[in-house]
Amino acid sequence: MKTILSGQQLSLTVKRLAHQILENNLLLTDTVIIGLQPRGIFLSDRIVHELQSIVDPALIRYGKLDITFYRDDVRKSLHIANATDIPFSIENRHVVLIDDVLYTGRTIRAALDALLDFGRPSKVSLCVLVDRRFNRELPIQPDYAGKTIDTFISQKVKVCWKEKDEKDEVVLI
């Protein structure tokens, strides 16, 4: 087991990602932030919290998206659905999708399919904490990445969140 990001590094990475999102969407007027259930919401909650400390919280539109039934592997294994909470329209808005790890790209493909049920965004950007860049099965790349790593297919990236796992850390197993 190898530590990729310590708790302090993870905290700094979240701040950097929030600032990068704000840098490219300065007024946040036509931007919405969508965290992917289940584990992407830990990152999106923290990014939104960071943004709220920088800009007027009323400017931030934040939702959570469950993609369970949009996955192409839903029939192969048991998936437990989570709540989707998008209390606003995404029609003609810039959507920033947030997830913890980008691996094969299949989760993001499912998220793009699910988003269409809520309207047609003008643009979709992807923000991830960890990009496992050489393991992609689909042509999907992040616009914002906290850490880019090269891994073997046999390795796993585990993101530990204080809220769920009692400590903040990203490890390679």
What DSSP string runs through 120-131?
Answer: --SEEEEEEEEE
Question: Residue 137 domain-assigned?
Answer: yes
88 with 119: CB under 8 angstroms?
Answer: no
Kindly tell me the number of DSSP H helices and DSSP E strands found in the chain.
4, 8
How high is the pLDDT of residue 129? 98
Question: Residue 100 domain-assigned?
Answer: yes
How many distinct structural domains can be found in the chain? 1
Per-residue pLDDT tens digits for 76-113:
555 566 789 999 999 999 999 999 999 999 999 999 99
Question: Residue 169 domain-assigned?
Answer: no
Give the torsion sign (CA, 64, 68, 73, 77).
positive
Check whether 52 has a pLDDT greater than 90.
Answer: yes
Beta-carbon neighbour count of residue 117 at 10 Å? 11
Judged on CB neighbours under 10 Å (0-12, 13-18, 19+), 104 is middle
Check whether 68 has a pLDDT greater than 80.
Answer: yes
CATH number where 121 lies: 3.40.50.2020
Check whether 74 has a pLDDT greater than 60.
Answer: no
**E strand map for the chain:** 2-5, 31-36, 61-65, 94-102, 123-132, 144-149, 157-160, 169-172
Q: Could you tell me the two tokens for 69? A: 């039934």
Per-residue pLDDT tens digits for 10-41:
999 999 999 999 999 988 989 999 999 989 99
Q: What φ, ψ does residue 57 adopt, rounded to 5°?
A: -55, -25
% of residues, the chain, pLDDT over 90: 86
> Range of 22's domain?
8-150
133 with 152: CB under 8 angstroms?
Answer: no
